[in-house]
Amino acid sequence: MTNASRRFYSVIPAGGIGSRLWPLSRADAPKFLHDLTGSGVTLLRATWDRLAPVAGDDRIMVVTGRAHRGAVEAQLPEISDANIVLEADPRDSTVAICLAAAILQRREPDVIIGSFAADHVIRGDRLFRAAVQQAITAAEAGYITTIGIRPTEPAIGFGYIKAGDALNIDGADGTMSVDAFVEKPDIERARAYLDDGGYLWNAGMFISRADVLLEELASNEPELHDAILQLAEAWDDPTTRGPAVDRLWPKLKKIAIDYSVAEPSAAKGRMAVVPGHFGWDDVGDFASLAKLNSNGLSNDLAILGENARVLADASSGIVVSHSDRVVSLIGVKDIVVVDTPDALLVTTSENAQRVKGVVDALKISGRDDVL
């Protein structure tokens, strides 16, 4: 283990409700608390198990909402109280990641942190660990480093990273500069990215020295940076944390770390990317979930639910059953059926990304009881 690896601390932001997976994913039971792969463990637990060999059980911090504390502790009995950071309410990824970085830097001034979402699916743990080790080395060299996934298809549900020149960092062979981050493309542009060969899927993983990350935040969002440092200063003292949260949290700007740190850092030449060769999916919608659970075969029907009662003939897609009803499908292709005790969703894989619109409509209509 290198000196940089010994200084490494994993951070798991466990937030968001996964609105494109409604009604399976809810505010009180977001997708990271579900087993979406049939493995027998939730996505959060799988994330912890993947990171523990890299950082150690005592060097993983989880940032989550107050409402989820009990569920997180039940899933992760190894975690210490000091390594659970509870958000008063969601403030997007910049606050989640940079507050963790600021807290950890006060404890260990030379800490290197890596942020890994709680609700992604990764296959190929050995390849994942190898990529993380390279990213730690690049972070030690002063880069804010991300891990980009080699695309296997022209996906339109992911953002992309345009990779630049090789950086020639000892111990991080293959690491490249980041020329730009690219938003989710249409299908024609996604095909062009795939054919180009110089684009990677943006998996939202960030590895950096805490001081470098916070320095970049200070350059781009000085007010947010100052508030985060004040919170971090008060965090480890129970007598000062509450008043600081009450005073500062409502004023924290909601902004994704892609915009507050990653994109500006790429423009300054401070971003590096390590190509990852492991399987990865952010499980962004039911089409993705169907693919994960049918071995990528479009003519298969994936069935999730511990006591699912499904009868199917000449049908494909996915059924998620969390009720006692029998679900019968006859001659339907690429169907999505999600059956819960209080809500039923029926759509197709092609329209899976539009489920978020249903959630937005329910919010507007005041139907918070099913959210």
Q: What is the pLDDT of residue 295?
A: 65
Q: Are 177 and 271 in contact (CB under 8 A)?
A: yes
pLDDT at 2 over 80: no
Return the ∠ at Cα 367 (arms to 310 and 44), rounded to 5°: 60
- In the numeric block, the tokens 């798991």 are attached to 12
pLDDT band with cut points at 50, 70 and 90 for residue 37: confident
- In the numeric block, the tokens 């916070």 are attached to 214
DSSP β-bridge partners for residue 318: 302, 336
pLDDT at 65 over 70: yes
Q: Which of 262, 296, 361, 304 has its CA nearest to residue 31?
A: 304
**What gap in Å lies between CA 315 and CA 317, rounded to an integer?**
7
pLDDT at 298 over 80: no
Most distant CA atoms of the chain, gap in Å: 63
| Residue pLDDT, tens place only, 177-232 | 999 999 999 999 999 999 999 999 999 999 999 999 999 999 999 999 999 999 99
Phi and psi at residue 71, in whole multiples of 5°? Answer: -65, -40
Q: Which of 220, 278, 227 has its CA nearest to residue 248?
A: 227
Q: Are 201 and 159 in contact (CB under 8 A)?
A: yes
pTM for this entry: 0.93
| Residue pLDDT, tens place only, 144-172 | 999 999 999 998 889 999 999 999 999 99
Domain with CATH 3.90.550.10 in the chain: 3-281
Q: What is the pLDDT of residue 299?
A: 62
Question: Does CATH place domain 3-281 in 3.40.50.300?
Answer: no
Residue 208 buriedness (CB in 10 A; 0-12 / 13-18 / 19+) = buried
CB atoms within 10 A of CB 304: 22
Phi and psi at residue 369, in whole multiples of 5°? Answer: -65, -20
The pairing of beta strand 144-149 with beta strand 160-166: unpaired
Element (H, E) at 275: strand 271-276
- In the numeric block, the tokens 């080699």 are attached to 150
**What gap in Å lies between CA 145 and CA 208, rounded to an integer?**
6
